[in-house]
């Protein structure tokens, strides 16, 4: 979060103005004094009456004093106005007084640019904070579901302890499997939340090396094996025999998110992973994505028609995939038809 400095404390303006004014006008004062001394010496050398010299000096001092007082008044007035604007700078940087010379104008332009940059940072911070609050609000609601399911399963397990041994054994086996599935969902939600925080600064966490695409795909499939079995969805994986230089952890995370999405929106049929030309394809036989939603599915927070129907989508999963793939120098695109299924293409740049 951006921390704004406290407003500067007030200082004695008049005394400060005199010191600053004398310092700023140091060169003209030295020049004027030098000219008076030079002319005084010349008048003495040429035997000009001392009364005339004194009178001339007095007139020069009076005239210079009047000019300096007028100049000081303007200087003090401007300093006071700038001091007021300095105190109000946190609300508005446009009320600066008209500048007197090009250098002062440059400083004012710089101050306005800095103020504008500060306002943009504050705005970006507000948006990022709102997005994070929205995401974690949705995340809390999502994670409540498997926790509540676990609570019910545990209550049923306690109730089954008082039944006959045979019935208890069957119910216990079912409850354990269900509880493992709900625990798996909780782990997924927690992992998503952690990676949501890390992905903003993913560059410092990348470690590139030569990896087998097949090994990474198998890691993702193994993680969701129980979900495939419980939903009775077929997994059709055709080995690619392709190697690529990438970050294994983050590439596997993307594959896991894509599999999770496919499983979420596929009620029956199969999910296939294969190479098509130079692209790694994840294809499902799910409900598909409406054509008008496809251009926006990788945007942050976009849930689309399917997400609104599901009422649990955060619009973060595919956004993270796109963000990570960009960092890994891979392209990710989608092709889909409602009622037929969806294809996700991963292509090395």
Assess if residue 259 is contained within a domain.
yes
User: Does the model's pTM come out above 0.85?
Assistant: no
Edge-to-edge order in the sheet of strand 270-276: 234-237, 270-276, 279-284, 341-348, 330-337
How far apart are the C-alpha atoms of 304 and 8, rounded to whole Å? 49
- Cβ atoms of 157 and 171 within 8 Å: the answer is yes
Q: How many Cα atoms within 13 Å fall on the side-chain side of residue 222?
A: 7
Assess if residue 97 is contained within a domain.
no
Residues 254 and 323 in one domain: yes
The dihedral through the CA atoms of 226, 229, 234, 237 has a sign that is positive
- CA nearest to 212, candidates 266, 255, 257: 255
Quick count: other Cβ atoms within 10 Å of Cβ 9?
6
Domain boundary among the residues 176, 197, 218 is at 197
Q: What are phi and psi of 273, to 5 degrees?
A: -130, 125
Residues 192 and 213 in one domain: no
Residues 254 and 326 in one domain: yes
Assess if residue 226 is contained within a domain.
yes
Domain boundary among the residues 32, 58, 91 is at 91
- pLDDT, residue 4, reads 42
Per-residue pLDDT of the chain (349 residues; tens, 9 = 90+): 444 444 444 555 667 667 777 777 788 878 878 887 888 788 777 777 777 777 877 887 888 888 888 888 877 777 777 666 565 554 555 556 666 667 667 777 777 787 788 778 888 888 777 766 666 666 666 676 777 777 676 666 656 655 555 554 545 555 666 667 777 777 777 777 777 767 766 777 788 999 999 999 999 999 888 888 888 899 999 999 999 999 999 999 999 989 988 988 888 899 999 999 999 999 999 888 888 888 888 887 666 655 545 545 556 778 888 988 998 999 999 998 888 899 999 999 8
What's the count of helices (H) and strands (E) in the chain, helices before strands?
Answer: 10, 7
- Cβ atoms of 263 and 221 within 8 Å: the answer is no
Assess if residue 224 is contained within a domain.
yes
Assess if residue 96 is contained within a domain.
no
Q: Which residues are paired to 234 by β-bridges?
A: 270
Residues 211 and 333 in one domain: yes
Residues 224 and 296 in one domain: yes
Give burial (CB, 10 Å; 0-12/13-18/19+) of 34: exposed
Domain boundary among the residues 145, 164, 197 is at 197
Residues 234 and 331 in one domain: yes
Residues 86 and 142 in one domain: no
- pLDDT, residue 333, reads 92
What burial letters (b/e) apply to 292-318, b meaning 16+ CB within 10 Å? ebbeebbeeebbbebbeeeeebbbbbb
Q: Which residues are paired to 344 by β-bridges?
A: 282, 334
**Element (H or E) spanning 272, and its range?**
strand 270-276
Residues 142 and 213 in one domain: no
Residues 273 and 315 in one domain: yes
Assess if residue 265 is contained within a domain.
yes
Residues 227 and 319 in one domain: yes
Give burial (CB, 10 Å; 0-12/13-18/19+) of 275: middle
- pLDDT, residue 20, reads 73
Q: Strand, coil or helix: what is 66?
A: helix
- Cβ atoms of 75 and 90 within 8 Å: the answer is no
40 lies in which domain range?
Answer: 13-91
- The CATH number of whichever domain residue 217 belongs to comes to 3.30.565.10
Assess if residue 344 is contained within a domain.
yes
Taken as a whole, the chain contains a residue count of 349
> How far, in Å, are 80, 81, 95, 177, 339 from residue 86 at the CA level?
10, 8, 10, 66, 62
Total structural domains within the chain: 3
Assess if residue 110 is contained within a domain.
no
Residues 187 and 266 in one domain: no
**Element (H or E) spanning 279, and its range?**
strand 279-284
- pLDDT, residue 2, reads 40
Q: What are phi and psi of 138, to 5 degrees?
A: -65, -40
- Cβ atoms of 258 and 321 within 8 Å: the answer is yes
- pLDDT, residue 46, reads 77
**Element (H or E) spanning 53, and its range?**
helix 50-88
Residues 74 and 18 in one domain: yes
């Amino acid at each position: 979060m951006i921390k704004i400095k406290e407003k500067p404390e007030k200082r004695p303006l008049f005394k400060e103005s005199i010191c600053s004014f004398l310092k700023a006008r140091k060169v003209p004062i030295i020049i004027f004094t030098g000219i008076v001394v030079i002319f005084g010496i010349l008048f003495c050398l040429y035997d000009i009456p001392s009364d005339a010299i004194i009178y001339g000096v007095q007139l020069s001092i009076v005239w210079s004093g009047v000019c300096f007082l007028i100049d000081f008044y303007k200087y003090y007035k401007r300093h006071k106005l700038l001091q007021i604007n300095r105190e109000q700078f946190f609300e508005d940087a446009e009320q600066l007084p008209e500048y007197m010379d090009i250098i002062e104008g440059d400083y004012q332009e710089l101050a306005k640019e800095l103020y504008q940059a500060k306002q943009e940072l504050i705005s970006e911070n507000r948006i990022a904070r709102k997005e994070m609050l929205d995401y974690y609000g949705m995340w809390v609601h999502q994670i409540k579901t498997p926790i509540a399911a676990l609570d019910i399963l545990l209550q049923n397990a306690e109730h089954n302890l008082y039944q006959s041994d045979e019935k208890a054994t069957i119910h216990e086996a079912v409850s354990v499997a269900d509880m493992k599935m709900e625990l798996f969902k909780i782990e997924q939600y927690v992992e998503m939340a952690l990676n949501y925080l890390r992905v903003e600064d993913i560059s410092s966490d990348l470690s590139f090396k030569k990896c087998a695409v097949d090994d990474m795909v198998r890691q993702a499939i193994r993680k969701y094996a129980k979900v495939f079995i419980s939903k009775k969805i077929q997994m059709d994986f055709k080995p690619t025999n392709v190697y690529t230089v990438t970050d294994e952890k983050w590439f596997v995370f993307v594959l896991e998110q894509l599999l999770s999405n496919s499983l979420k929106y596929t009620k029956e049929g199969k999910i296939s992973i294969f190479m098509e030309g130079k692209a790694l394809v994840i294809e499902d036989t799910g409900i598909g994505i409406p054509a008008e939603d496809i251009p926006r599915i990788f945007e942050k927070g976009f849930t689309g028609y399917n997400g609104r129907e599901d009422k649990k989508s955060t619009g973060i999963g595919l956004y993270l995939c796109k963000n990570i793939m960009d960092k890994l120098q891979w392209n990710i695109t989608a092709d889909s038809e409602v009622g037929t299924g969806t294809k996700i293409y991963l292509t090395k740049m």
